[in-house]
Chains A and B, each alone.
Chain A
Amino acid sequence: MRWLKIVIFLACLGPLIRLAWKAYSGGLGANPIEFITHSTGDWTLIFLCVTLGVTPLRRLTKQYWLIRLRRMFGLFAFFYAALHFTTYIWLDKFFDLHEMIKDVSKRPFITAGFTAFLLLVPLAVTSSSGWIRRLGGKRWNLLHRLIYVSAIAAVIHYLWLVKADLTKPLRYAAVVGVLLGYRILAWSVPLIRSKKPALFPGKRAEVPEG
């Protein structure tokens, strides 16, 4: 497990290494800053999808150990989101706070993206085992459902910034839709099947972690 984690950790750094290599070798194209913005944004969405994919995958395949990778994927989603956000405040707005406030309040796609990022902050902060203990499993689980909202906001952010070709954002929308749809099913099917037992809190001990 330890080695697997190290390998996956290095693989997750791949997109960043690729960007650094391209920057070094002049491969970022005619508009490098746009390239970096798009790339870090894409990888944020990909890692959000991967993180959201862990729970359905481990349940459907009964590979329950996969849960042990989820925190890393989630933190990488936050990592690329932070890079994406830094690109925006540094290379796009040059730390002009006034401009940024105007942007966040005036432009819906920035508002959505900023929301998606902000929601990830408490999740990254409370990702440690210590925080799980401090909050208690139930409350921690509840808090970490914010990733659903963040993922939806991230997809909306992408949809709203595109000029005409919605293919790429709709692809993410489809993936996030399926992953969240799975959860709705996983919650509602047992409720519909046997209405009575679901009313007993004891029967609901099997609340999905994500």
Chain B
Amino acid sequence: MLIKKPADIASSEITPRGLYLSRRAFLRGAAIAGATTLGGGLLGKLASPWEQASAGTKIDGIQKSNFSTNEKITPYKDVTHYNNYYEFSTDKEGPAGLAKNFRTRPWTVKIEGLVSKKKTLDVDSIMKLASPEERVYRHRCVEGWSIVVPWVGFSLSTLLKQVEPLGKAKFVEFTTVYDPSQMPGQRERVLEWPYVEGLRLDEAMHPLTLLCFGMYGEVLPNQDGAPLRLVVPWKYGFKSAKAIVKIAFTEKQPINTWNKATPNEYGFYSNVNPNVDHPRWSQARERRLGEFSKRPTLMFNGYGDQVASLYSGMDLKRYF
């Protein structure tokens, strides 16, 4: 097992979530954090009720999509207050508050590597490349929970075609913003920053792969990956990189952050697969947030009809 952190107490743990509280609330929280030790964070939670997520602006002209599931949509509050976003915090309740003042403008995305037209695009111009679609997707976390989210965006391929990938390009690498001054989690070496993810070119060009800038009809909240993120619904959630600043076309398979951290647990492909367990827990079932019983996990998260052909002939146990 990799031990990537020293044993001393991280500064972010000492003043939990203090950063986003108002001054007065911060002082109160700090007093509580100071007065308690082990298990004391629980008291801090009692003292600071959930903050309202930064309300998104409504997105106009959203089209419906045939790719949408008609399953019950997970409540907005759950999707905005239960986030794996280690750049802010390893605590799932953390990002909602810590990302509150995260600056998403100005924001540019650099597209480089094996393309004939390298580009640096402003996020607002990217959003105008196509009309926004609502895609209600199942989203399955590698940890064994899942949600159903009405994302807003359009197929990533729309953007990728703009730069005209070269024949040599086989993979696409996505890099998340690195800004420890705004992202307290990046001050800890929990993972190697910046966060990097990757897809095979055909996966990236697949129509299901979404370039996402909104959800629930509004602009994406910061804790859910604003201003621009990926949504790859047939893969475990960590493949869907958030706050993207760079897209690079490569010949060699990119090394994604989680794979680098624990190669035997998180593969490059990370397709949702109930038959291939995580070495430390089963992937056969999942808990949909809001449901009591666990439900069986579906092959490719239920998107097998669309994507299974991408992997025909591949040993999915080996290429997990």
Contact = CB atoms under 8 A, between A and B. Distances in A.
A202 interface: no
B39 A94 contact: no
A52 B262 CA distance: 34
Contacts of B38: 46, 49, 171-172, 175
Interface stretch (A28-36, A133-141, A143-151): A28-36
A175 to B, nearest CB: 7
B293 interface: yes
Interface stretch (A2-10, A158-166, A186-194): A158-166
Nearest to A164: B190
Interface SS of chain B: loop
A166 B39 contact: no
A29 B1 CA distance: 30
B119 interface: no
Nearest to A163: B143
Given A103-B282, A160-B280, A166 B5 contact: yes
Contact of B42 (A39, A102, A170): A39
A68 interface: no
A108 B190 contact: no
Q: Which has the most chain B C-beta neighbours within 10 Å: A43, A103, A170?
A: A170
Contacts of A99: 282
Contact of B90 (A15, A94, A164, A175): A164
Nearest to B74: A30
A15 to B, nearest CB: 8
Contacts of B287: 31, 33-34
Interface stretch (B7-15, B64-72, B176-184, B302-310): B7-15
A58 interface: no
Nearest to A99: B282
A42 B42 CA distance: 10
A73 interface: no
A161 B86 contact: no
A59 interface: no
Contact of B289 (A31, A46, A168, A173): A31
A163 B314 CA distance: 27
Interface in B185-216: 188, 190-191
Contacts of B282: 99, 102-103, 107
A42 to B, nearest CB: 6
Contacts of B292: 33, 91
Interface residues of B, number: 37
A204 interface: no
A173 B38 CA distance: 12
Contact of A160 (B1, B13, B92): B1
B161 interface: no
Interface in B1-40: 1, 3-5, 7, 9-10, 13, 38-39
Contact of A167 (B13, B78, B82, B294): B13
A29 B90 contact: no
Nearest to B238: A163
Contacts of B188: 165
B280 A43 contact: no
A170 B188 CA distance: 15
Interface string B97-133: 0000000000000000000000000000000000000
B93 A29 contact: yes
23 contacts: A29-B92, A30-B92, A30-B290, A31-B145, A31-B289, A34-B145, A42-B39, A43-B39, A94-B293, A102-B282, A108-B280, A160-B280, A164-B4, A164-B86, A164-B90, A166-B3, A166-B4, A166-B5, A167-B10, A167-B13, A171-B9, A173-B7, A175-B38
Given A164-B191, A165-B188, 16 more contacts: A29-B82, A29-B93, A30-B77, A30-B78, A31-B145, A34-B145, A46-B39, A160-B1, A160-B280, A165-B86, A166-B5, A167-B10, A167-B90, A168-B13, A170-B5, A171-B9
